[in-house]
Chain A
Amino acid sequence: MPNEPVITAAAASHTGAAQAGDTQAGDTPRIARDVNTFIGGYPWRHIPHPEPDVLVRVLAREGVRSAWVGHLPSAFHRDPSHGNAQLLAALEPHRGTLHPVPAVRPGWPGWRSALRDGVARGAPAIRAYPQLWNMGVGDAQLVRLAEGCAEEGVALLLTTRFEDLRQRHVLDTAADLSAAHVRAIARAGTGARLVVTAAGREFIEEVHWGLTPAERALVTYDFSWVWGPPTDELASLVRTLGPEAFVYGTMWPLRLTQGPRANLELLPDALRASMLAHLAM
């Protein structure tokens, strides 16, 4: 039952690991992967237990087989290399379930070798944060990174935002990633697969319908920031873009893992079935 506690209060208190959000998916069909997770702390607020062993337990409870995992502090570092090293080391005991997604800052000395090293260590994707690196729309460095990802056969993962605009720390002044950023990378003809996380409905539609059919086939989105009823934005997007435009991403440990699962459960039956079949692959 979805409302059956998985960890008792006493156990939660004892382990210190359970947090609101770490409940069981019950008989929800399994999801192949959560592409949008992190380990590590966040500079602007406390987040509870952002550790890999907790993530492994959460995935099991949520019925998700594996996760792509970034290193959250690295997003805010000038040089992500130290964070990447921490990420690779921290995930090593969980190889097979947690897959590292290192951050590669194009233009930073040695970025190409960082990309190759990450791929050699099993990274299925590379994270980039143009909005935190002051890279504008059409920045040639982003195109070169996309080219590098395509050559290595890995996806380029872009994060639209980490938090709701309305709650940000006074020093957290970076703008959200823009849809124009994504369109520019997708239009560059690199052949790179792009995974866009934490985008809202309007952003997704603006990118999708702003690309050629060939370009849009290379861009997928998680729906962690798309709403269900009564506005039924997710249902509308699944009808218009198709399930193949979507991947499963929760933004753990920043947000509750139950969000996307709830959104899926509230879809009309046929749409839910098509999404679950797609996301199980």
Chain B
Amino acid sequence: MSPDAPLGGTGPLIDVHAHFFQAGCGRHDWDALNTSRLRGGARIGITWHVASVLGSWGATSPVYFQSPRDTAAGNDAMLALQRGHAGVVRSYVAVNPNDTAAACIEIDRCVPLGAVGLKLAAARRCDDPLLDPVIERARHHGLPVLHHIWQHRTRHWPSQDISDGADLAVLAQRHPAVSFILAHIGGGGDYAHTFAAVRDVPNIFLDLSGSGTDRGMLDDALQAVGPRRLLWGADITLCTGLAKLWALEAVGLDDAQLAGVRWANAARIFPSGAFPGLPDVPDA
């Protein structure tokens, strides 16, 4: 391999679960983190980072319970990053569904500015009907919904109102026309529970991101939902994303299926034209 060749191979690669930071996030190194992400992404060969900024990242309201003001500021920062790195960055609009009216207005505001997906974190358990108007706005705009998930919710965890795969299955079955991305199967909790919970819910896609790199996790995910419902992503830790990208080579995918996990499955569920330079992939 050439020293300059992308570590993750030369084919298209979409990270469906990325994050960036912003000046108001309370971290002095926010810009260095963003630069490092873009540099690491270039080294790996990430074609598109599909990313969100979660409000002020806790500086002025909690990460998972963002105030409306921080929500808008975070989305503005994310959209500015998209404009500044138009060839590699795409935005989710992130909202707190507890203020449902404000969330819907925010979605409607950000889609014309370039948001290509909806990010929901952990401000309200996702089987709550309160989310329905928000999901309806995603359906209206043709956005997939990336939902933060704790793999198997066995107890309350501080600082978040967590949802698990079974909770997301309830929401997804209420909205069969919307594609849901179940966040980071390597992001904490018992992924085996997730696989069983969403196996038969065809509009839930598993994103492979997170710091967890358990051996057997990818094999079991593939067995549970098949290759067309897997999406590559890194979340915060690019090193574990690269490790899983390499590991995908050994799970028994053919070239088309591997391309699906790398980018084509994502291109299928995001709005047409979301990723310039990549062909649209019609839903079969």
Q: Could you tell me which A residues sit within 8 Å of B by CB distance? A: 1-7, 9, 12-13, 18-23, 26-27, 45-48, 163-164, 166-167, 170, 227-232, 234, 252-256, 258-259, 261-263, 265-266
Interface centre among B43, B191, B212, B216 (most CB of A within 10 A): B216
Closest 7 CB pairs of A and B: A228-B239, A229-B40, A9-B252, A166-B188, A20-B218, A3-B9, A258-B243
- A253 and B215 CA atoms in complex are apart in Å by 7
A248–chain B nearest beta-carbon distance, Å = 14
A258 touches B212 (CB 8 A): no
Contact A48 B215 (CB under 8 A): yes
Give residues in B with beta carbon < 8 Å to A: 1, 7-9, 33-34, 36-37, 39-40, 43-44, 150-152, 154, 188-192, 211-219, 236-240, 242-254
Are B36 and A262 within 8 A (Cβ)? no
- Chain A's closest residue to B248 (CB) is A20
A256 to B214, CA, bound (A): 6
With A20-B250, A228-B40 in contact, do A262 and B7 touch (Cβ < 8 Å)?
yes
Residues of B close to A3: CB separation below 8 A: 8-9, 245-246, 249
Beyond the given A228-B238, A263-B239, A265-B43, could you list 19 further A-B residue pairs with CB under 8 A, ordered by the A residue number?
A1-B9, A6-B250, A9-B254, A13-B252, A20-B251, A21-B213, A21-B218, A21-B250, A166-B189, A227-B239, A228-B40, A229-B238, A230-B33, A230-B36, A230-B40, A254-B215, A259-B243, A262-B239, A266-B40
Which of B1, B33, B152, B214 touches A255 (beta carbons < 8 Å)? B214
- In the complex, the number of residue pairs spanning A and B with C-beta atoms less than 8 Å apart equals 145
CB contact between B192 and one of A45, A48, A229, A265 (< 8 Å): that residue: A45
The reply to whether B1 and A2 contact each other, CB–CB distance below 8 Å, is yes
Give the Cβ gap from A1 to chain B, nearest Cβ, in Å: 6
List the A side residues contacting B8 at CB < 8 Å: 3
* Cβ B239 vs Cβ A20 within 8 A: no
Chain B's nearest CB lies how many Å from the CB of A261? 7
- Considering the chains assembled together, what is the distance between the CA atoms of A13 and B1 in angstroms? 28
A254 to B214, CA, bound (A): 6
8 Å CB contact of A7 from B40, B240, B250: B250
Cβ A256 vs Cβ B215 within 8 A: yes
Q: Is the beta-carbon distance between A21 and B247 smaller than 8 angstroms?
A: yes
Please determine whether A230 and B238 come into contact, CB atoms closer than 8 angstroms.
yes
Does B190 lie within 8 Å of A167, measured CB to CB?
yes
A222-B242 Cα distance, complex, nearest whole Å: 19
With known contacts A229-B39, A262-B7, A265-B7, A20–B216 Cβ distance under 8 A: yes
Contacts of A255 in B (CB 8 A): 213-215
- Do the beta carbons of A230 and B236 come within 8 Å of each other? yes
Contact call B219/A19, Cβ cutoff below 8 A = yes
User: CB distance B1 to A26 under 8 Å?
Assistant: yes
Shortest distance from the beta carbon of B203 to any chain A beta carbon, whole Å: 25
Q: Which of B192, B236, B252 is close to A231, meaning CB atoms less than 8 Å apart?
A: B236
Residues of A within 8 A of B214 (CB): 45, 163, 254-256
B245 nearest CB across to chain A (Å): 8
Cα–Cα distance between A167 and B7 once the two chains are bound (Å) = 29
B34 touches A259 (CB 8 A): no
A-B contact pairs, 20 of them (CB 8 A): A2-B1, A6-B249, A6-B250, A9-B253, A18-B250, A19-B219, A21-B218, A22-B247, A22-B250, A23-B249, A164-B212, A167-B151, A231-B36, A259-B239, A259-B240, A261-B246, A262-B242, A263-B239, A266-B7, A266-B238
Chain A residues with Cβ below 8 Å from B246 are 2-3, 23, 258, 261-262
| Chain A neighbourhood of B188, CB < 8 A | 164, 166-167
A5–B191 CB distance below 8 A: no
Q: How far is the CA of A193 from the CA of B15 in the complex (A)?
A: 41
Please give the distance in Å from A62's CB to the nearest CB on chain B. Answer: 10
In Å, the complex CA distance between A21 and B247 comes to: 4
Contacts of B34 in A (CB 8 A): 230
Distance of A45 Cα from B217 Cα, bound (Å): 11
Tell me whether A259 and B189 are in contact in the complex, defined as CB-CB below 8 angstroms, given that A18-B250, A230-B236 are known contacts.
no
Report if A266-B219 is in contact (Cβ < 8 Å); known contacts: A23-B250, A230-B36: no
Task: Give chain A residues whose Cβ lies under 8 Å from the Cβ of B252.
Answer: 9, 12-13
Within the complex, what minimum Cβ distance (angstroms) separates A162 from chain B?
11
